[in-house]
């Protein structure tokens, strides 16, 4: 059986984003066309389907790390801000995008909230894991 660890992550995310477009709960909000993904970014993403790629990437991170929260995901998607001649600093990504994506994935029953040993976060359900495994099988 093919797992997500057996395939190239970029190809997996690309194929998973195409599959997520077909799910009715995963619709890109209207405000997402003109929003930046973080403080360090100067412009919104140029790719029209960036919402689905981010959702697929979040699902992959949940698969790999098991229990992960919004704040840790914000750190994972952080970037460095260009301050001109001053030194660059790392800024975390915007939380609204990640929160809405996780809420959409919860409606699609791919993700659920969980608390393990006083650590709160979200985990992939068996439906979410089987979705990613089937995409990985198609990639391979």
Residue 1 has pLDDT above 80, yes or no: no
- CATH number of the structural domain spanning residue 31: 1.10.10.10
- The residues, ordered by sequence, that sit 6+ positions from 135 with a Cβ below 8 Å of its Cβ are 12, 15, 16, 19
What percent of the chain has a predicted confidence (pLDDT) above 70? 100
How many domains, in total, are found in the chain?
Answer: 1
Q: Which domain holds residue 80?
A: 4-139
User: pTM of the full predicted structure?
Assistant: 0.88
What sign has the CA pseudo-torsion 44, 26, 13, 127?
positive
Give the pLDDT confidence of 100-109 residue by residue, as tens digits: 999 999 999 9
Residues whose CB is less than 8 angstroms from the CB of residue 133 and which lie 6 or more positions away in sequence, other chains included = 1, 2, 3, 4
| pLDDT tens track for 6-35 | 888 999 999 999 989 998 888 888 888 888
Pull the structure tokens for residue 43. 């412009």
Between 2 and 32, whose confidence is greater?
A: 32
pLDDT at 43: 84
């Amino acid at each position: 059986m093919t797992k997500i660890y057996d395939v190239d992550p970029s190809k997996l995310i690309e194929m998973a984003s195409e599959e997520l477009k077909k799910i009715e709960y995963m619709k890109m909000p209207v405000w997402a066309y003109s929003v930046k993904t973080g403080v360090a970014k100067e412009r919104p993403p140029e790719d029209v389907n960036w919402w689905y790629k981010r959702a697929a990437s979040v699902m992959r991170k949940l698969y790999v790390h098991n229990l992960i929260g919004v704040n840790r995901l914000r750190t994972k998607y952080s970037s460095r801000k260009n301050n001109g001649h001053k030194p660059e600093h790392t800024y975390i990504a915007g939380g609204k995008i990640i929160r809405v994506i996780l809420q959409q994935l919860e409606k699609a029953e791919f993700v659920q909230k969980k608390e393990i040993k006083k650590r709160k976060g979200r985990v992939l359900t068996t439906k979410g894991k089987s979705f990613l495994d089937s995409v990985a099988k198609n990639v391979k």
